[in-house]
Amino acid sequence: MRIVEVFFRGGLRRTRTPLSLIDAQVRGTMTARVRTVEATRTVGDAVKMMADAKVGCAVVLGKDEKPVGIFTERDLVRRVADRGGAILGSPIARVMSKPLTVISPSATVWDAVTLMARADIRHLPVVEKGALVGILTERDVFRLILAQQNLLLESVSDSLPSVTRDQLRGLVGRYGLSTPPGKASS
């Protein structure tokens, strides 16, 4: 693994990057801070929490604090389309997606992406020994792919003539990076 800089909405971030999705473990790619909601709370409570936290889902926890379902923006749109705004007062347990599809933190990102595609989901809770330890989202996977592309661009550009290298860096700059991939800003 190498440390590279990854561009994301908030700027550049240094990250360790495995060579491929097949090598990367979910543990190193997932988001550890997961937003949760108790199964007894209302849809309105969950929507407010998700909006305040600027997240697209909340994992629903049962009485034993174990994950029992997930509520996503997609669920909200579908339920409101079916039942109207009155759904906001309903218990989240009635409208959450279940059964919950989960993955282990030791699984590969490739396995996770395959599972997400087959299940047609965008958020995959990460569970270890029955406890929620994170969530892998499409955005997490995109960040990993971008980091790998930056690593590839850095590797390729260092072996090219300076004119071509500058052209590649110019393209990268056009897409929001102020410094070449893998290079620390001065």
Tell me, letter by letter, the H, E, C secondary structure of 65-98.
CCEEEEEEHHHHHHHHHHHCHHHHHCEHHHHCEC
* Claim to verify: residue 111 and residue 171 sit in the same structural domain: yes
* Claim to verify: residue 134 and residue 158 sit in the same structural domain: yes
Answer with the one of 84, 100, 116 that is the final residue of a domain: 100
pLDDT at 83: 85
Answer with the one of 100, 135, 158 that is the final residue of a domain: 100
* Claim to verify: residue 25 and residue 109 sit in the same structural domain: yes
What CATH number does the domain containing 80 carry?
3.10.580.10
SS3 track for the chain: CEEEEEEECCEEEEEEECCCCCCCEHHHHCECCCCEEECCCEHHHHHHHHHHHCCCEEEEECCCCCEEEEEEHHHHHHHHHHHCHHHHHCEHHHHCECCCCCECCCCEHHHHHHHHHHHCCCEEEEEECCEEEEEEEHHHHHHHHHHHHHHHHHHHHHCCCHHHHHHHHHHHHHCCCCCCCCCCCC
Answer with the one of 61, 80, 100 that is the final residue of a domain: 100
* Claim to verify: residue 113 and residue 182 sit in the same structural domain: yes
Domain count, the chain: 2
pLDDT at 161: 59
Structure tokens at 72: 């996503």
Beta carbons within 10 angstroms of residue 136's beta carbon: 27
Contact of 82 with 94, CB cutoff 8 Å: no
* Claim to verify: residue 62 and residue 87 sit in the same structural domain: yes
Is residue 116 very low, low, confident or very high in pLDDT (cuts 50, 70, 90)? very high
pLDDT digits (tens, 9 = 90+) for 127-164: 999 999 999 999 999 888 877 777 666 666 555 555 56
pLDDT digits (tens, 9 = 90+) for 30-87: 999 999 999 999 999 999 999 999 999 999 999 999 999 999 999 999 988 888 888 8
* Claim to verify: residue 178 and residue 144 sit in the same structural domain: yes
* Claim to verify: residue 95 and residue 154 sit in the same structural domain: no
Residues 6+ apart with CB under 8 A from 113: 21, 141
pLDDT at 135: 97
* Claim to verify: residue 80 and residue 109 sit in the same structural domain: no
**Containing domain of residue 70, as a range?**
34-100
Which among 147, 122, 184, 152 has a CA at the least distance from the CA of 28? 147
* Claim to verify: residue 85 and residue 140 sit in the same structural domain: no
pLDDT at 149: 74
* Claim to verify: residue 162 and residue 131 sit in the same structural domain: yes
Mean pLDDT, the chain, rounded, equals 81
Residue 179 has pLDDT above 60, yes or no: no
Tokens 């790998």 label which residue?
148
* Claim to verify: residue 120 and residue 52 sit in the same structural domain: no
pTM (two decimals): 0.72
